Structure 1
Amino acid sequence: MQKSHLLKVAFVIAFAIVVGCLFRHCLPNKDSQMLETVKVDSLKIRVPRHKVEYIDPTFAQEYQKVFITTGELENHVNLDKHKVNIENGITTRIAVFHCLTGQFAEEQIIIQCNAKQLKEKYFQGINNETIIDLYNYIISLKIIYLSIDTFLNAYVSDIDFCYDVNVSVKSMIEANAEIHRKINPSCYRYVSKPFRREKENVGIQFNTREKATPAKPYVKIYHKTLELETQSSLFSQTYLKNQNFKNIGRLEFTLKNAKHKKYLDLQFQSLKDLLDLNQDVLEKIIFSGIMKYIERKIILREFKDLSPTDRLLLHFMNRTINKGDDKEMLYASLNIFDNPQERSRMKKKLIQLIENVDDKDRLVANRETLNFLRVLKLNFE
């Protein structure tokens, strides 16, 4: 009779946990139109010189320095191969360089493009809908001219993908700490401790742009809202003042070069090909990075010493923890009991079972932290 009663109680608790969990985690996100989507944040494009017209008469021209106080002319003649335009926090670089193709050296133009050049459409990223805005911005600088067809067929490299998630600063700090705890000891030299400069930014960085390799790519997690409010305040105040960008965290992943593309089995070459990649492919790219640094542990749990009732409860506890619940939410399930003695008895049961859950670290973090990790595909399972 006692076992039958406990089994019924276990089913009631499990049902309450699952229903509550489903209700909490199925609420719509008001900012979903710009969140949890892989976007192109920046890239370099290369175009053969013969397809580009110089508009700025000083671009790629020789010059000499004149010292204002003396009027003296420097003897050394320089070549202006690099133009930098800075406007309201938007930086654009256009340069001339020689590329070795086989046995031949070809003069090419390199253009650094980024989502800030889209101004108010910044959070949409560089895609097929916004590419004309990006092109028009480059042309409006009147440094060079190239056709839209040449622009779309340009070779692309150094691509930064980004993925924005709704998360508070506090929860991101907790999530970064949990990620760092899971780093494989052999990868410590690539991953510094999470940075926590709340007046500037918080985050964690994997490798550096310069030293990144296909097997150890450059990845960064940081709080985009903090970055826009501090380091990019001029840009955000100019173009995003009517937009809600509160509590946005960002994952960035750099696809470095042709070798990196081959490693990930990617075939695209041109800007147009890049923009035609679907979300499934883009997610495989951006979520491939952090797991290169994570220690994978297989958890083998022995259940033979637990009663059928306890095994059932533990099974549902593990499921609801994976959905984002913490200890407080588990204990809240005890409110279904009106009888104080029953509630006390089942609380002792929960305390005992909590010692057997698959991942105790998750019970320390709050639900928002766990949701952030889950959205980034970091379930550590």
Structure 2
Amino acid sequence: MSEKIIPIQEALTDSLSLSIPFEDCRIIDGRLTDMPVLYYPTLDEFESELMPPKPITIEYHGIKLRFSLAEIPDHNDKKNTLRFIRLTLNSKLLHEDYFQGIRKDNTLKLYNRIISFNVIRFSYKSFLQGRVNDIDICYNDYAPSLKHFCDALDNCVIDALDKAKYLRKFIDTAQGNYGLSFNQRHTAKPSTPFIKLYYKETELINRSPEFWNTYLFKHFGNQIKNLTRIEVTIRNYAHKKRLIKYGLIPNFKTLEEYLEIPSKNLKDVIIFSNSAYIGKDYRVKSPNLSPSDHIIFELIQNCLRKGFTQDDLLNIAETFHSNSKASTDVSRSRIRSKIKDLSKLILNKDLKLQTEHNYNNHVNEYLKRMNLYK
């Protein structure tokens, strides 16, 4: 048996909601249709589940699958409604292949697993032709350490500028829960989508221990250290329409069509979504300086933003040579003092640059790999 590897720096599908026409289904568990669902007749009004059926929930080894009945307005005849069976496809249903995500080469495995629960029957063709929405795209990579990851969260909050109001950092040492949410799933809009960046290592071990121990530990126990994940949600039709408008993904309706979208396009969705929050670098305004000091100030700021440290800049003094050793030493000392004084003006005013100065290389490279920084 070949060794299983966690895919790194590859955009994958973690979960999605699937709607299958009711007429294509054979109900085995009658609880699914015991109670009616009523909605308002148009999509212009908020859907109201006046008497919702209790969804049938299958739970085992930390995996949860819900089956429910839904009715939506018929766009061609607003007096009628269309009935669907809705279920959530989660990559956990793939068991030991969880990290591969939902893809076209494992849909038959997913289909057979769903049918095995004896709640409902439908053909494999109907499964592939089911309508998809509420899609979670994920992307894995390793952080240098937990400390660097937490520093990266701080950088994201700082760089969000006026969008920082949408961000919520969660640090729960007791539960091993570390991460950052951008907006909330139920309030997210196409222009401000729901994103979650979190420490996958501790999330799996502490929050999904039964699933981890049953299916993953044997294969990935030596690969999980410092694993992190970012997830982006394509919530609904309006969000999908926006992504299509910007040329990020082709139009799709069915599961089969969606799974034809290349991973590169899904990665583009992640990059585009992140850019809704992480703004362009802003600059510290120089205080009242002489023209020559202003130029030096701006050049130092450029160097710090590009990853140079203050020590790198101080080494510039060593390149200066005068007519005598005494004159050279004095001039080098003045250069070093000038660099230190102007650097302090930047670092003391810009928390982002201060963080970069302390943890620049590892933190920023990690954020670039996670498509949060350019």
The Cα of 1:366 is off from its aligned counterpart by: 4.6
User: Counterpart of 1:141 in structure 2: which amino acid?
Assistant: F
Structure 1 stretch displaced more, 131-140 or 210-219: 131-140
Distance in structure 1 (CA, Å) of the matches to 2:108 and 2:190: 31
Q: 1:122 to 1:326 in 2, by over 3 A?
A: farther
Is the counterpart of residue 171 in structure 1 residue 148 in structure 2?
A: yes
Q: Which amino acid in the other structure matches residue 182 of structure 1? A: D
- Counterpart of 1:101, as a letter, is D
RMSD: 3.7
How do residues 236-315 of structure 1 correspond to structure 2 at under 5 angstroms? 236-242=212-218, 243=220, 244-265=223-244, 266=249, 267-297=251-281, 299=283, 305=292
Partner of 2:63: 90
Match of 1:360 in 2: 353
Verify the 8 A CA contact 2:314 2:339 in the aligned structure 1. Answer: no
Give the counterpart letter for 2:96 in structure 1. Answer: E
Q: In the TM superposition, what whole-angstrom CA distance separates every residue of 1:255-312 from its partner, at most 9, and x where no partner exists?
A: 011111111114111111111111221112112223212343455999x848x9x99x
Matched with 1:211 is 187
Greater mean alpha carbon deviation, residues 98-107 or residues 108-117: 98-107
Residues 16, 134 of structure 2: 8 Å contact kept: yes
User: Residue 47 of structure 1 aligns to which amino acid in structure 2?
Assistant: I
**Alpha-carbon contact 1:157-1:257 (below 8 Å) kept:** yes
Deviations 1:122-169 (A, max 9, x none): 111111222222222211111111222111111000001111110132
Distance in 1, matches of 2:24 and 2:252, equals 21
- Residue 140 of structure 1 is aligned with which of 110, 113, 116? 116
**Mapped pair 1:232 → 2:190:** no
Deviates more, 1:369-378 or 1:31-40: 31-40
Q: 2:367 touches 2:373 (CA, 8 Å); kept in 1? A: yes
Q: 1:79 to 1:282 in 2, by over 3 A?
A: closer
Q: Retained in 1: the 8 A contact 2:278–2:372? A: no
TM-score, reference length from structure 1:
0.73
Report the Cα offset of residue 316 of structure 1: 10
Percent identity of equivalent pairs: 26
CA distance in structure 1 between the aligned counterparts of 2:334 and 2:206, rounded to whole angstroms: 46
Give the superposition deviation at 1:46: 0.4
Task: Measure the CA separation in 1 of the matches of 2:85 and 2:277.
Answer: 36
> Which deviates the most, 281-290 or 246-255?
281-290
Number of residue equivalences: 323
Closer/same/farther in 2, CA of residues 31 and 148 from structure 1, 3 Å limit? closer
Give the unaligned 5+ runs of structure 2.
36-50, 320-325
Structure 1 residue 46 corresponds to structure 2 residue 5: no
Paired amino acid for 2:155: E
For 1:300-336, what per-residue CA distance to the aligned partner results, in whole angstroms no more than 9, with x for missing partners? 999x848x9x99x979956861xxx7667x49999x9
CA deviations on 1:103-139 (whole Å, 9 max, x unpaired) are: 2211110011111111101111111222222222211
Give me the whole-angstrom Cα distance separating, in 1, the residues matched to 2:334 and 2:30.
Answer: 79
- Distance in 1 (CA, whole Å) between partners of 2:151 and 2:22 is 49
* Residue 80 of structure 1: how far off its partner (Å): 5.3
Q: Tell me how far 1:240 sits from its aligned partner.
A: 0.6
Please list the CA deviations of residues 173-198 of structure 1 after superposition, one character each: whole Å capped at 9, or x if unmatched: 1000111111222x343223x22112
Partner SS state of residue 173, structure 1: helix
Paired residue for 1:370, among 364, 367, 370? 364
The answer as to whether partners of 2:31 and 2:56 remain within 8 angstroms in 1 is: no
2:128 pairs with 1:149: no
